[in-house]
Structure 1
Amino acid sequence: MASGFVRTKDAPLLPPPSTAVGWQAALRQRLLPTPLSGVASVLLAILGIWVFWTIFDWAILRAVWVAPDRELCNVEGAGACWPFIGDKLMQWIYGFYPQEERWRVNIVYAVGAILLAGLLIPRVPGKSWNALLFFLVYPVVTFYLLIGGSFGLSFVETSAWGGLLVTLIIAVTAIVVSVPLGILLALGRRSEMPVVSLLCTIFIETVRGVPLVLVLFMAANMFPLFMPPGINPDKLRKAVVGVALFASAYMAEVIRGGLQAIPKGQYEAAQALGLPYWKMMGLIVMPQALKIVIPGIVNNFIGLFKDTSLVTVVGIFDLLGIVQAGFNDPKWASAQTGNTGYFVLAVVYWVFCFGMSRYSMFMERRLNTGHKR
């Protein structure tokens, strides 16, 4: 019988191989797992460095930082024309709102940011009161504060509004309106009452079947036909209604997808408890459906925020429209004026959209409790 050796002590612990730990291993596993992935990673890295350097060279190294007019920006080889941004920045923020009345816009910005932060930050207490103020009180106060004509405030027509102010008004109003209206349309489309289901289906499919530009033109020209004689809302209100209805149709389909993803057993369990329809939807089904479709809802919000730029075609000077209006100023007409304006505009849109995307991911992680024990 062959003799053997039985170890009486544990083998000494050896350090892990250098290729399995550290930043080198992480880099190798993420970017260079296979030769093909390694080649693709290197090519993409080269492309990224080239794009970054091109933008950095144009926006920083060759940029014109101080100039009274367009002359220095017209020099051959000049980069971004930042004095143009400084000269037009206030107009981009406030539009054509009277300068002596811009404190009213500042109050709207500040109060809106505070209330929105209270809603979005989970640890802030008093969510019910915060929501009541943001969704019910704040819109009324904002309307009377901006338009004036009462409480001793001078009247400012909506045609004098513009820039970021108009973009935020249209986007926030449409987002806030589209969610509850989308929920009602989704429930109506799934209703067992044929008339309700048919009407909701016709509305959703009709709106989704036409572009937003056409909806805006219809709102601008046909909206007065549905109003009492002598009542003709201004262009901004028509645009807000058109964008909100357009967004609600898409939101309805996103929410309907979440409702269809809920197992039938959830409905049956709620009915077994004797819950009426609206309590079943409000307490059992809808919270689960909305949690499932958070990515789709936020994706709609991002698309809606960017689509507000289309109101320019009906003569409303939103952020895009006010930037393009600045290009017509002969004082700043140069080869780099348009490039600089569109670059800053792209950064502004990206900041808002990226913020919504990151918050969506945060909420997904926070609400992902289905498998926690």
Structure 2
Amino acid sequence: MSDTADRAFVRQELIPERAAPVKTTGVIGFLRTRLFNSPTNILLTVAGALLLWFIVVPSLRFLLADAVWHGTDRNACLAENAGQAVGACWPYVRAKFSQFIYGFYPEPERWRVNLTFILAALLLLPLLIPRLPAKGLNAGLFFIAFPVVAFFLLHGGGLSGFGIGWTASILSGFADSIGEAGRQLASVGEATAVIGPLLALLGELIEFIATALAVLISPLIWLRDFIQASRHALWSDFAATAAIVSILAFWLGGGVRAGWRALIMSLASFAGIGLVIAVMGLDHGGLPVVDTRLWGGLLVTLVVSVTGIVASMPVGIVLALGRRSTIPLIRIFSVAFIEFWRGVPLITVLFFATYMLPLFVPSNFTIDGLVRVLIGIALFAGAYNAEVIRGGLQAIPRGQSEAASALGLSWWKTTALIVMPQALRHVIPGLVNSFIALFKDTSLVSIVALFDLLGQLRASFADPAWATPTTLFTGFAFTGMIYFAFCFGMSRYSLFVEHRLNAHRH
């Protein structure tokens, strides 16, 4: 009975073979799992393919297949002369290429622009490659030394003074402007019946502050005048400034016990600055001056965008920390600053910086038009970066700072070494998004008579030698590719940084 029961459960035939698994790798697997795995995705795939067909194919035909590649004037890009439908007019881009890059920068001096671009690339690329050493020295050269060298390369001119001379001139002009404001306020008070005495008293108080400031800076002004009377005024000012700054660095660094490192670094920095002054001939007039009104094209776009990006970061960090401060005055000022700059459009900021900023500086102190725009853009972008960084600060648990306090770290060390690095790592996408938007918004500077890349493009359309039906589209296609290359590069590098900083989490 037992043997019969056991034989009843013995299978007499083979199990049928299973169907082969659906392929999920390779091109076929990608099509099956990503593009045609559901009716909705099939519909979207077909719609996307049609959209690409009606956009990409005509664009490629315009830019490559039907394009004109050789010619000396507009006749080469006319359909009646070419005998066919004409696409992009690339001879126009070739003829205006120098204008797109340099603007109206004098042709004999364009080597200075090329040298500036080369120096920027040589200093920036090592910063972007994580494995290369000496990041601190490289960062110091790029963020501190390079802007000064680039300014004298692009603008030209020499040095009429150094630290002491500039500081004394700025402070004396500031004191004079305060005194003039006090005198004007007092005169208005004398002519006002209701609140006249109060305005007059306020004006006298401001004038007294200006007089006290003038007395305080009188030794510095005397030292400036004494240095300027010497035979080598610039080098005397340079030596005096180096001595004062080095002594302060030695004293603040710990004096005889621990200040020698700071002293050596200060002396080495001033030695490098002196070498640059001597090599570039800044003590003898330097290079020929090229006014910023002659700058244009990609040069202005890069100067405005790079300066705005670099200068807005410290502004944003300071404002973000100020908005989270426990001191009411700092917090209120930071909130008011951020909301004011975020509440006005960039065009208004550019107009304000160009036409109203000179009213807030001393009368004997002039600011170049490009510098005004750079200041306005840096403050505008800094307000937006502040909110992005504040979001990263709020993402850091309170236990981080509490643990640092338990270890005896000060607020400055806790913020610089623990909180801020983690916060910036969290907000890399938001910051890069702001940088890309700022790079594209530089086209607005043409409103205040600065011809960036798009400004030079629009100016080139006025040339009748290249007036064709396709010139407009060719120019915008060319500049669009330049903007896309820079923006896409920033986007890709930000993804690389994100993956590298978050590698320990996977």
Please, what TM-score do these two structures have when normalized by structure 2?
Answer: 0.70
Question: CA 1:14 to 1:107, structure 2 compared with 1: closer, same or farther past 3 Å?
Answer: farther
Matching of residue 136 in structure 1 with residue 144 in structure 2: yes
1:42 to 46, 71, 76: 46
C-alpha separation in 2, matches of 1:163 and 1:17: 58
Matching of residue 147 in structure 1 with residue 281 in structure 2: no
Matching of residue 300 in structure 1 with residue 434 in structure 2: yes
Give 1:14 deviation, angstroms: 9.0
Mapped contact 2:316–2:389 kept (Cα < 8 A): yes
Which segment is superposed worse, 336-345 or 263-272? 263-272
- CA deviation profile, 1:177-212 (whole Å, cap 9, x unmatched): 111110000000100000000001101000000110
Mapped contact 2:385–2:434 kept (Cα < 8 A): yes
Give 1:369 deviation, angstroms: 3.8
Which segment is superposed worse, 174-183 or 66-75? 66-75
Matching of residue 118 in structure 1 with residue 122 in structure 2: no
Matching of residue 156 in structure 1 with residue 160 in structure 2: no
Give 1:15 deviation, angstroms: 10
Matching of residue 62 in structure 1 with residue 70 in structure 2: no
- Structure with more of its chain in helix, by fraction: 2
**Alignment of structure 1 residues 1-373 onto 2, 5 Å:** 1-2=5-6, 17-75=21-79, 77-150=85-158, 151=281, 152-369=286-503, 371-372=505-506
Question: CA 1:111 to 1:14, structure 2 compared with 1: closer, same or farther past 3 Å?
Answer: farther
| 2:109 maps to amino acid | E
| Partner SS, residue 124 of structure 2 | helix
Give 1:59 deviation, angstroms: 1.2
C-alpha separation in 1, matches of 2:18 and 2:149: 69
Which segment is superposed worse, 350-359 or 265-274? 265-274
| 1:109 maps to amino acid | F
Structure 2: gaps spanning 5 or more residues: 159-280
Which segment is superposed worse, 230-239 or 140-149? 230-239
Question: CA 1:74 to 1:283, structure 2 compared with 1: closer, same or farther past 3 Å?
Answer: same
Give 1:344 deviation, angstroms: 0.5
Give 1:65 deviation, angstroms: 1.5
- CA deviation profile, 1:334-363 (whole Å, cap 9, x unmatched): 211111000111110000000000000000
Give 1:144 deviation, angstroms: 0.7
| Partner SS, residue 331 of structure 1 | helix
Give 1:68 deviation, angstroms: 1.6
| 1:339 maps to amino acid | F
C-alpha separation in 2, matches of 1:104 and 1:175: 23
| 2:469 maps to amino acid | A
Q: How many aligned residue pairs are there?
A: 367
Give 1:261 deviation, angstroms: 0.7
| 2:58 maps to amino acid | T
Mapped contact 2:24–2:33 kept (Cα < 8 A): no
Give 1:26 deviation, angstroms: 1.9
Question: CA 1:305 to 1:21, structure 2 compared with 1: closer, same or farther past 3 Å?
Answer: closer
| Partner SS, residue 71 of structure 1 | helix
Identity %: 52
- CA deviation profile, 1:134-157 (whole Å, cap 9, x unmatched): 000000000011111232411111
Which segment is superposed worse, 43-52 or 18-27? 18-27
| Partner SS, residue 392 of structure 2 | helix
C-alpha separation in 2, matches of 1:16 and 1:22: 16
Please, what TM-score do these two structures have when normalized by structure 1?
Answer: 0.95
More relative contact order, 1 or 2 (CA 8 Å, 6+ apart): 1
Give 1:30 deviation, angstroms: 1.2
C-alpha separation in 1, matches of 2:20 and 2:340: 63
Structure 1: gaps spanning 5 or more residues: none
C-alpha separation in 2, matches of 1:130 and 1:15: 61
Give 1:16 deviation, angstroms: 5.5
Give 1:2 deviation, angstroms: 3.8
| 1:118 maps to amino acid | P
Max Rg structure: 2
| 1:164 maps to amino acid | L
C-alpha separation in 2, matches of 1:25 and 1:319: 45
Give 1:98 deviation, angstroms: 0.9
Structural RMSD (CA): 1.8
C-alpha separation in 1, matches of 2:25 and 2:434: 41
Give 1:74 deviation, angstroms: 3.2
| Partner SS, residue 464 of structure 2 | coil
